[in-house]
């Protein structure tokens, strides 16, 4: 089954690569179906409002790759703009956020579903930019609006498309570069930490302790800032160096543990007077799992976002049962459109006021050019990043 899956993935990406620098996807469909090209073009435009269809180019630049390739093998390519529906918002991308999921996708370990649109095969799950076109069913967004958006894929490009339910207005005091750090981080962190079904930190936050592993990365730094802004009593984080310890303190951590020199389980016990962490946010798995269970408070929740240290874990399940604890968490991509819309609306209600008032400041941003996507992946893989990398697209 592994070989079959690999072959299917190869065929999917071969399909995308074969369409780069060739006639558009719509033109190929037109040829297959025997439709005149002009008729097909008109079908594409139906159901959209834009300032002028002539202002949109036929082609766009994007980052191309082969699953399993090295960061240095990411290259700039050209293809047609992504197709859109009446529920979609087409965005002229200013910046694309770079995250751990992008690294996994480049390695071929987190692939879009079989049969997905071609533009989903382009990396990138979050962007900021201006609305270039809206579908007839779209409400609340107009051409020219500054927005941020959570994507199914296609962010490392000059244009990207998102369903309106995954689009959020840019906070008025944020730059577009700062806005690109919002979607993946805040959708993920808010859902996993504050949704009652997961971390439930929205209930009595002033009585709770949160442990965040890797508090200076994109997700980790967002968790530190948001949890403190939302009133969590004690926030503990683990980092790998003295430089990152200082950065974590700037981001709001109450207790910072260098995991290379100290045992975080013991430090959590000391910091909480033996109570333990009510919620733990972890993307590591592997040998960290039994240690996380040890660090949990009674009725604690271990939120697992990733498995970088291995997906096969061994721990004393009875220890978890004795604490009435639970392990939960997950990725955004499999969640339904309705679920993602609920998170977008929660961000509007609970987090947007914190951005607007300055209580919750923008993330620390590292700007790089879109053509430097490979270098951005290398920096992330080598844990050289404090904050969030965003890729700037070529501007007119």
Reading the block at residue 248, the tokens are: 């974590």
Residue 21 scores a pLDDT above 60: no
Reading the block at residue 60, the tokens are: 């766009």
Residue 52 scores a pLDDT above 70: no
User: What is the number of residues in the chain?
Assistant: 396
Reading the block at residue 137, the tokens are: 């069913």
| Alpha helix ranges (H) inside the chain | 2-18, 25-33, 37-45, 100-106, 176-179, 183-194, 218-229, 242-250, 264-271, 288-295, 317-322, 337-346, 352-357, 373-381
Under DSSP, is residue 54 helix (H, G, I), strand (E, B) or coil? helix
Tens digit of each residue's pLDDT (9 = 90 or more) over 332-343: 888 999 999 999
Q: Is the dihedral of CA 70, 71, 76, 78 positive or negative?
A: positive
Q: How confident is the model at residue 5 (pLDDT cuts 50, 70, 90)?
A: very low
Residue 30 scores a pLDDT above 90: no
Among 35, 95, 70, smallest CA distance to 390 is for: 95
pLDDT of residue 112: 81
> Residue with structure tokens 């989903």?
120
pLDDT of residue 43: 36
Reading the block at residue 236, the tokens are: 């503990």
Report, as an integer, the average pLDDT of 328-353.
94
Report, as an integer, the average pLDDT of 232-260.
96
Quote the percentage of the chain above a pLDDT of 70: 86
Q: Give me the residues paired with residue 282 across strands.
A: 304
Tens digit of each residue's pLDDT (9 = 90 or more) over 146-194: 999 999 999 999 999 999 999 999 999 999 999 999 999 999 999 999 9
Residue 18 scores a pLDDT above 60: no
Reading the block at residue 149, the tokens are: 């958006």
Average pLDDT in the chain: 88
Residue 1 scores a pLDDT above 70: no
Q: Is the dihedral of CA 138, 164, 147, 47 positive or negative?
A: negative
pLDDT of residue 47: 61
Residue 72 scores a pLDDT above 80: yes
pLDDT of residue 48: 60
pLDDT of residue 334: 86
Residue 31 scores a pLDDT above 60: no
pLDDT of residue 17: 47
For 236, list phi and psi in degrees, rounded to 5.
-110, 140
In sequence order, the 6+-apart residues with CB closer than 8 A to the CB of 221 are 215, 247, 251, 363, 364, 386, 387, 388
Q: pTM value?
A: 0.84
Report residue 189 CA to chain centroid gap: 10
Higher-scoring residue by pLDDT: 44, 203: 203
Pairing of strands 234-239, 255-258: parallel
Is residue 156 within 8 A of residue 373, CB to CB? The reply is yes
């Amino acid at each position: 089954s592994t070989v079959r899956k690999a072959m299917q993935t190869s065929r999917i990406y071969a399909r995308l690569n074969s369409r780069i620098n060739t006639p558009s996807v719509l033109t190929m469909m037109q040829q297959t179906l025997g439709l005149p090209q002009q008729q097909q073009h008109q079908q594409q435009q139906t159901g959209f409002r834009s300032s002028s269809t002539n202002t949109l180019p036929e082609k766009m630049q994007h980052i191309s790759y082969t699953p399993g390739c090295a960061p240095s093998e990411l290259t700039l390519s050209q293809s047609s703009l992504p197709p859109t529906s009446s529920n979609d918002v087409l965005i002229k991308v200013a910046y694309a956020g770079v995250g751990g999921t992008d690294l996994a996708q480049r390695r071929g370990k987190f692939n879009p579903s079989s049969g997905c649109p071609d533009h989903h095969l382009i990396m990138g799950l979050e962007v900021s930019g201006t609305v270039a076109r809206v579908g007839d069913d779209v409400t609340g967004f107009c051409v020219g609006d500054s927005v941020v958006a959570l994507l199914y894929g296609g962010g490392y490009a000059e244009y990207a498309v998102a369903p309106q339910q995954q689009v959020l207005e840019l906070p008025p005091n944020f730059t577009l570069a700062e806005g690109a750090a919002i979607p993946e981080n805040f959708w993920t962190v808010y859902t996993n930490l504050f949704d009652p079904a997961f971390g439930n930190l929205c209930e009595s936050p002033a009585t709770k302790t949160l442990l965040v592993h890797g508090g200076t990365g994109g997700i980790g730094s967002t968790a530190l800032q948001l949890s403190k802004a939302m009133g969590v009593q004690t926030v503990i984080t683990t980092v790998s160096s003295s430089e990152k310890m200082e950065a974590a303190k700037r981001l709001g951590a109450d207790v910072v543990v260098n995991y290379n020199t100290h045992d975080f389980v013991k430090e959590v016990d000391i910091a909480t007077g033996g109570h333990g962490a009510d919620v733990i946010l972890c993307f590591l798995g592997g040998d960290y799992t039994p240690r996380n269970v040890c660090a949990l408070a009674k009725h604690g929740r271990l939120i697992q976002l990733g498995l970088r240290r291995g997906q096969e874990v061994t721990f004393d399940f009875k220890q978890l049962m004795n604490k009435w604890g639970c392990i939960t968490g997950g990725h955004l991509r499999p969640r339904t459109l309705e679920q993602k819309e609920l998170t977008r609306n929660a961000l509007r209600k609970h987090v947007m006021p914190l951005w607007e008032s300055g209580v919750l400041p923008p993330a620390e941003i590292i700007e790089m050019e879109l053509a430097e996507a490979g270098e951005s992946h290398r920096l992330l893989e080598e844990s050289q990043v404090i904050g969030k990398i965003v890729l700037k697209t070529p501007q007119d």
